[in-house]
Amino acid sequence: MERIPLPSRALALLLALGGILAGASGTAAACERVLVSGYHSTVHVYDACTGAFLRELDGRNRLTGAQAIRLHGGFLHVVAEGHNALARYDADTLQFVDYFTSVTGNPGITGVAFGADGDVYLGGYNSDSVLRFDGRTAAAKGEVVRRGDGANGVDNGLVFGPDGKLYVPGFDSHNVLRWDPATGRSEVFIPSRSGGLFRTRGILFEPDGSGVLVSSEGSREILRFHRDGRFDRVLARFDFGPNGMAYAADGSLLVTGFGGDRVLRLDARSGTVLGTVVPTGQGGLRGATFLAILPPEAETNEPDAEQIGSQYWLTGAGPAQAGLLEMDLHSSNGGAFGADLDPARVTRRRWGSLRISFSGCDSAQLSWTSSGPDSAGFGDGGYALQRIAGNPASAQCHAEGFDPAAGPAFMAGTWYGGAARSGEGLFLDVLVDGTVLVAWFAHRPPAAGLP
């Protein structure tokens, strides 16, 4: 779009009001964050747009053997297989909160899933089972999937599907089981080695529900299956063992894997590699096992202290006689910005008095008195005024000739003290009954503790 320069008087108006003239520009949306578990390192946080390493979620001493990462209930849940524990982090600040549970007996916790019943389900690689815990108290509720059901080496892709059933990857059994909470029964969803499935890791349901992706780390492939478990095709092949998968906001598929220690972006339908999001080993990543995507970091909306200035508004209203305007001015206190404003808490107090004597269509003399007990104590003073820019009121005044006895209509407009007083000024409006409204935007005195 062609930029049209502002007339010089209009530009002066913006400057006098303390405004900042800037061309319109698009603001880039904040980027998602990619979290990658490093079994031999820790959980690493990256910018999804640039791939830049942002931080470690926590030290390896707390996240030894990092595995599944799930966002639930305002917490980021991370499995630390080395501790057989589920650590919780604040989803906004990423600060450690606590361990939801630490499981005894070395079941080799890898995956975590959250049921509609509010319970927490942990997959045990060593125990070849899925353990159930009360979602509030972390009290153990036993096993829901066992070795006898066909689970061998339950891995980190453990997830509830859109049908409400729990899908269980068997790393060593090279299959996927399905557990129904309604019946408490397990069944084979994807048979062992179906479509070449070897060392099952991740399970990711397609957004439209038409199919499911399964990472086959041993064959270095991502396989696509129909919703009924029938093999469809090989979606993509890699030079490393893929495991972690997640859909980005743009619909692309992000993939990481053991032996690759990087994050690739794929076309979710064709499996075509679109590029590298996170380069190999970025931020010290070693032994990638899982990938999760978080929304952009929440904005704090903390006011910029450098933009909280010294501007101070005064208002008043009164009649004008023969080119002379005299009135009391008032200050307002107790207000707040935006939705926090409560009109009932706003109080008006007499600040002092204002006097403007007009000598022409575009010229006047301003003086004020703010001294004595019934005032704000700003002192007394004054300066010459001029109109900032012409308007219909000034045009009519010039056409008919300056005649203050004819009424105050010519006063309407924006006035200020010239270049020496740029940054403050007055808005004057004239009502049909001849009342003149004044809003004077000045500044707090240095005594108020402001520059």
**Domain spans of the chain, in order of start:** 33-294, 309-448
Q: Hey, is 236 helix, strand or coil?
A: strand
What whole-number distance in Å separates Cα of residue 24 and Cα of residue 21?
Answer: 10
Q: Is 189 left (phi over 0), alpha (psi -120 to 50) or beta?
A: alpha
Give the chain's largest Cα–Cα span: 103
Residue keyed to tokens 């397990």: 186
**Spatial CB neighbours of 377, under 8 Å, sequence gap ≥ 6:** 370, 371
User: Can you point out the beta strands (E) in 206-297?
Assistant: 211-216, 221-226, 231-237, 241-247, 253-258, 263-266, 273-278, 288-294
**Spatial CB neighbours of 38, under 8 Å, sequence gap ≥ 6:** 44, 66, 261, 284, 285, 286, 287, 288, 289
Q: Are 154 and 145 in contact (CB under 8 A)?
A: yes
Nearest to 119 by CA among 94, 157, 149, 86: 86
Q: Under CATH, to which class is 33-294 assigned?
A: mainly beta
Give the pLDDT score at 298.
60
Give the pLDDT score at 168.
98
**Spatial CB neighbours of 93, under 8 Å, sequence gap ≥ 6:** none
Q: What is the CA radius of gyration of the chain?
A: 35
Residue-wise pLDDT for 149-202, tens only, equals 999 999 999 999 999 999 999 999 999 999 999 999 999 999 999 999 999 999
The secondary structure element, H or E, covering residue 177 is: strand 175-180
DSSP string of 88-149, one letter each residue: EEETTT--EEEEEEE-SS---EEEEEE-TTS-EEEEETTTTEEEEE-TTT--EEEEEE-GGG
**Spatial CB neighbours of 200, under 8 Å, sequence gap ≥ 6:** 155, 157, 169, 170, 171, 173, 174, 175, 176, 190, 214, 215, 216, 217
pTM recorded for the entire structure: 0.64
Q: Hey, is 410 helix, strand or coil?
A: helix
What whole-number distance in Å separates Cα of residue 427 and Cα of residue 415?
Answer: 7
Give the pLDDT score at 20.
30
What whole-number distance in Å separates Cα of residue 31 and Cα of residue 104?
Answer: 39
pLDDT tens for the chain, 451 residues: list them: 333 343 444 334 433 444 333 333 334 457 899 999 999 999 999 999 999 999 999 999 999 999 999 999 999 999 999 999 999 999 999 999 999 999 999 999 999 999 999 999 999 999 999 999 999 999 999 999 999 999 999 999 999 999 999 999 999 999 999 999 999 999 999 999 999 999 999 999 999 989 999 999 999 999 999 999 999 999 999 999 999 999 999 999 999 999 999 999 999 999 999 999 999 999 999 999 999 999 887 655 677 777 877 889 999 999 999 999 999 999 998 888 888 888 888 889 999 999 999 999 999 999 999 999 999 999 999 999 999 999 999 999 999 999 999 999 999 999 999 999 988 999 999 999 999 999 999 998 876 555 4
- Paired tokens of 71: 């966002």
Q: Which residues pair with residue 266 across a beta bridge?
A: 253, 273
Q: Which amino acid is at 48?
A: A
Residue-wise pLDDT for 361-381, tens only, equals 999 999 999 999 999 999 999
DSSP string of 299-328, one letter each residue: P-----GGG---EEEEEEEEEEETTEEEEE
Q: Which amino acid is at 34?
A: V
Q: Hey, is 421 helix, strand or coil?
A: helix
Give the pLDDT score at 166.
98
Q: Are 316 and 354 in contact (CB under 8 A)?
A: yes
Q: Are 400 and 406 in contact (CB under 8 A)?
A: yes
